[in-house]
A and B are shown apart, each in its own frame.
Chain A
Amino acid sequence: MDGHAERFAGRLVTAGVRHEDDTAREFESRLAESSTLAIRVAYSVVRNGSDAEDVAQEAFVRAHRAFGRLRDRDRFRAWLVRMTFRIALDWKRGHRRRGAREDAVARLRPAFGNAEHEIIDSDRAARLWTAIDALPQKLRLVVVLAAIEGHGMKDVSALLGIPEGTVKSRLFEAKRQLQERLR
């Protein structure tokens, strides 16, 4: 190999390494900014912090595989939300047979020192989760995403890829159904 070819090969290798570095850096950035979102979406289905992390992790691994077409930030987050939700539903279906799990709500809610108060809160939370589970999927995802801190209508619209008006109407309908079930 002559000097020119060597230089060319060296440049190719450098470009490849640089490309890999860029990809890794971009993925790191997406991971840092979207991990809370993924975990909360997963948690809304599996109701357990540890399981929610497992589900989110699986979603990120799959996202990494498809990262070539998910470089855009909004696209990545929208894809991640859908994928996490789907994996969480599958996970829940698969783990339902394992019997009663530890009540995640009681575990995650901070203790107020008053046992009676705690039981009431826990009961209220369980009823709310049951009501959310009973919602149709499209309403459920809207209400979960709207409940995640910092998400406005525009964010939910971008995450689900639907118009803002549709988000508003779905959220209204979801809240109405929840109110009825909690009454």
Chain B
Amino acid sequence: MTEDRDEILDELRELMAVEPTPGFEARVRNEVTRRAVRPTRPWWLAAAATCAVLVAIVATRMQPPSESARRSTKTAPIASPATPAPGVSEKPAITPVRVRLGRIAVKALPQRVEPEVLVPPDQAIALRKLMVAVREGRVVLAPVGNTDAPVVVEPLPEISPVKVEELPGASGDLKPGTESKKVGDHVPTEA
């Protein structure tokens, strides 16, 4: 039995008695070199490309708004149209409030130089003229609020006088038996 078993091992040993061909080691060496070089290039290329894309994205997001975007940034100066009172510093008291719009909003806005007009152009011109006139003293706005000025009242339409007839028993001479009558029970007389 043991001999049989060892015979099997010997047979197997004989069947497996293969040797590497003379060029085997050289082939392995070449393959190792080829594969060692090949994966490095795509790795570097892929890494470089990824970095470039990331940098581009970050740079685009981080850059300050462009000139057009800056122009479209809303500036809302809340300034008094009147000239500053004497003794008050000429420096504007209220600094302009800058409202930075988001990227999408900026893109959606039309590229205009002047700020958004809230009044019709003709009225704006008139308003500007009025402000200039007020500033120069040509127009005095004080009488607008003056209550002493004579007020012209248009005559009202004539109203016919109302006749009120005396109610029966209003003089106080009540008949006997009428004391229990409630006020609500009173029947209005015809006018």
Contacts and interface: CB of A to CB of B under 8 A. Distances in A.
Q: Do A and B bind each other?
A: yes
A128 B16 contact: no
Contacts of A60: 28, 31-32
Contacts of B21: 49, 53
B125 interface: no
A149 B17 contact: yes
A32 interface: yes
Main secondary structure of the interface of A (DSSP, over half): helix
Contact of B16 (A35, A57, A147, A178): A147
B10 to A, nearest CB: 8
Contacts of A175: 5, 8-9
A125 B13 contact: no
Contacts of A178: 5, 8
Nearest to A124: B11
Given A128-B8, A147-B9, A149-B13, A57 B18 contact: no
A47 to B, nearest CB: 9
A137 interface: no
Contacts of A143: 9, 12
A109 B12 CA distance: 12
A167 interface: no
A144 interface: yes
B19 to A, nearest CB: 6
Nearest to A44: B16
B8 A40 contact: no
Interface string B1-32: 10011001101110111111100110111011
A71 B113 CA distance: 73
B35 A144 contact: no
Interface of A: 27-28, 31-32, 35-36, 39-40, 43-44, 49, 52-53, 56-57, 60-61, 64, 105, 108-109, 124-125, 128-129, 132, 143-144, 146-149, 175-176, 178-179, 182
